[in-house]
Chains A and B, each alone.
Chain A
Amino acid sequence: MNLDGAFSALADPTRRAILARLALGEATVMELAQPFEMTQPAISQHLKVLEDAGLIVRRVDGTKRPRRLAKAGIEAMDQWLAMLRTALEKNYDRLDEVLAGMEPHKKRGGTR
Chain B
Amino acid sequence: MSKLTLKTEGDLHLVITRHFAASPEAVYRAHMEPELIKKWMLGPEGWTMPVCINEAKPGGKMRYEWSNGRGGDFYLTGEFLELEPYSRIVHVERMFLPDPTPDNRVETRFEPDGTGTLMTMRMTLPDAQTRAMMLATNMEMGMEASYARLETIL
A interface residue numbers (CB < 8 A to B): 13-14, 16-17, 19-20, 23-25, 35-37, 69, 74, 77-78, 80-81, 83-92, 94-100, 102-103
Contact, CB under 8 Å: B22 / A89: no
Q: State whether the Cβ of B6 lies closer than 8 Å to any Cβ in chain A.
A: yes
Chain B interface SS verdict (over half): helix
Chain A residues with CB under 8 Å of B43's CB are: 87, 90-91
Q: B20: which A residues are within 8 A, CB to CB?
A: 92, 95-96, 99
A92 to chain B, nearest CB (A): 5
**Chain A hits for B152, CB < 8 A:** 37
Using a CB–CB cutoff of 8 Å, the interface residues on chain B facing chain A are 2-8, 16, 18, 20-23, 26-27, 29-30, 36, 39-45, 128-130, 132-133, 135-143, 146, 149-150, 152-153
Report which of B22, B128, B142 forms a contact with A83, defined as CB distance below 8 A: B142
Query: Which residues from chain B contact A85 at a C-beta distance below 8 Å?
Result: 2, 4-6
Q: Find out whether the CB atom of B44 lies under 8 angstroms from the CB atom of A87.
A: yes
Contacts A13-B150, A94-B39 given: A103-B139 contact, CB under 8 Å?
A: no
Instruction: Knowing A13-B150, A17-B153, say if A98 contacts B4 (CB, 8 Å).
Output: no
Given contacts A83-B143, A94-B40, contact A103 B22 (CB under 8 A): yes
Our count of residue pairs bridging A and B at CB distance below 8 angstroms stands at 122
**Are A69 and B143 in contact, CB atoms less than 8 angstroms apart?**
no
Given A87-B143, A91-B43, A95-B20: A24 and B7 interface contact (C-beta under 8 Å): no
CA distance A74 to B142 in the complex (A): 19
Q: Are B142 and A88 in contact (CB under 8 A)?
A: yes
Given known pairs A20-B133, A23-B132, the reply for A91 and B42 (CB within 8 Å) is yes
Q: Given A74-B128, A74-B132, A81-B8, are A87 and B42 also a contact pair (CB < 8 Å)?
A: no
With A13-B150, A85-B2 as given contacts, are A103 and B136 in contact (CB-CB < 8 Å)?
no
> From residue A20, how far is it (CB to closest CB) to chain B in Å?
4
**How close is A101's CB to chain B, nearest CB, in angstroms?**
8
User: 13 extra interchain contacts, Cβ-Cβ under 8 A, other than A87-B44, A103-B23?
Assistant: A24-B133, A36-B153, A77-B135, A78-B135, A84-B135, A85-B5, A85-B6, A87-B139, A88-B6, A91-B40, A92-B4, A98-B30, A103-B22
